[in-house]
Amino acid sequence: MAFPSEDFSALYGSLPTLREGTPLSDETENTSIEPTFSPDAGDALAKTALVVPEADSPRRAALPAKGIVLHALRDGFAAFLDLAKIIIPVYFAVALLNYSGLIALLAEWLRPAMRLFGLPGEAAIVLLTGWFMTLYAALGALRALDLPSSAITAIAFMLLFCHALPLEWAILKKMGARATRVTLMRFAISISPAESMPSFTAAR
Amino acid sequence: MAKTVLGCAKLLGLVLAIIVPITIASELVRARDLLPRAARRISSSMGRLGPGEGALAPLLIGLLFGIVYGGGAMIALTRAGAVKPEEARTVGTFLGLCHSIFEDPLLFVAIGGNWLWLMVIRFLLALVLTPFLRRLS
């Protein structure tokens, strides 16, 4: 989820256009998920672009494929630059820590805990990066270390269920969900035995 | 040091090679309004088994584009009354466990992960866990 299509909201209603790592703006005045069942919910449905425009509507006709691709290239590259701003510092920081031996120290210290997951000690720093920073930071940290493919799969498996916890906590809160409970639940799943399956099954 | 720079550059190359095609595909989907049509077709073929048409659109958005866009769509549509609250809760729980099923896992597969685990099994596990966890949230 890393592309900033600025006119995304034109099609999908009041959708915030932002990338992971940017705080949500405060424009939603209704922060609960209480529905507003009104007689003209059908009209609202039509307005929120769940209705397919007619084949000859101007919106559809005015979008040549080449223009879209160029626009997407620009968006994609902009998103890539944003990601690079996260990945590069984390990568170099972890590489530096690795080189200086601090990672090895940490790994020794955390090896008993990591063994519960069937992971090497260095995995702890990748997990922490994924939990408290974004998934892409964890990607950078993971690549900066030299872990076997089974460990990569296991770490990624855990992180995909549960990453960027502070940010997603804030998003859930905005959505009106019980943010703390959901976040704790995701974290519990992430470190549950189900998540360690990849590392305990045969190394692929 | 040079090895670190090279390693980082290779990682960035992988990220670029994955992000750009996915961005192009998603912009095409968005521009051609494929998502509402797909939502309609999927919900009608799933019948009572799956989420209703209203909740299916944010679900697809969250699966394809990530939790931020999916959550935003969910808020917008719930406010408009197109999504029932219990449906919103179910879909929201599922998305929390499993969003962005192409972009994020592909990045990890590119650096050595196993796609079966990261894309297929994760999706299935989220499906299995959602009914239980829905009650908690």
* B10-56 tens-digit pLDDT: 989 988 888 888 888 888 877 777 777 777 777 777 776 677 777 88
Long-range contacts of B29-35 (CB under 8 A, 24+ apart): B29/B64, B30/A5, B30/A8, B30/A11, B31/A63, B31/A68, B32/A60, B32/A63, B33/A11, B33/A49, B33/A52, B33/A53, B33/A60, B35/B60, B35/B61
Neighbours of B70 (CB within 10 A): 28
Instruction: Answer whether A38 sits within 8 Å of B81, measured CB to CB.
Output: yes
CB A155 within 8 A of CB B107: no
| Contact by Cβ (8 Å): A170, A24 | yes
Q: Provide the sign of the torsion angle of the four alpha carbons A27, A163, B109, B121, taken in this order.
A: negative
- B51 near A CB under 8 A: no
Residue A45 confidence (pLDDT) above 60: no
Interface A-B: count of C-beta contacts within 8 A: 245
Q: Is the pLDDT of residue A51 over 60?
A: no
B61's tokens: 């958005």
A141-169 pLDDT per residue, tens: 998 888 888 888 889 988 998 888 888 88
User: What per-residue confidence (pLDDT) applies to A105?
Assistant: 85
Residue B122 in tokens: 């994760």
Q: Do A50 and B32 touch (CB under 8 A)?
A: no
Distance from CA of A105 to the nearest CA of B (A): 20
Whole-prediction pTM value? Answer: 0.70
Contact B110, B18 (CB under 8 A): yes
Is A139's CB within 8 Å of B98's CB? no
Q: In this complex, do A153 and B114 lie within 8 Å of one another by their Cβ atoms? A: yes
Q: Which residue of A has its CA nearest to B5?
A: A92
The predicted pLDDT at position A120 comes to: 83
Min CA distance, B70 vs chain A (Å)? 9
Q: Is B26 on the interface with A (CB under 8 A)?
A: yes
Contact A48/B99, CB-based, under 8 Å?
no
Q: Which ipTM score applies to this complex?
A: 0.81
CA distance A116 to A151: 13
Residue A138, pLDDT score = 92
* More confident site: B52 or B103: B103
Cβ of residue B67 closer than 8 Å to a chain A Cβ: yes
Residue A21: count other Cβ atoms within 10 Å of its Cβ: 17
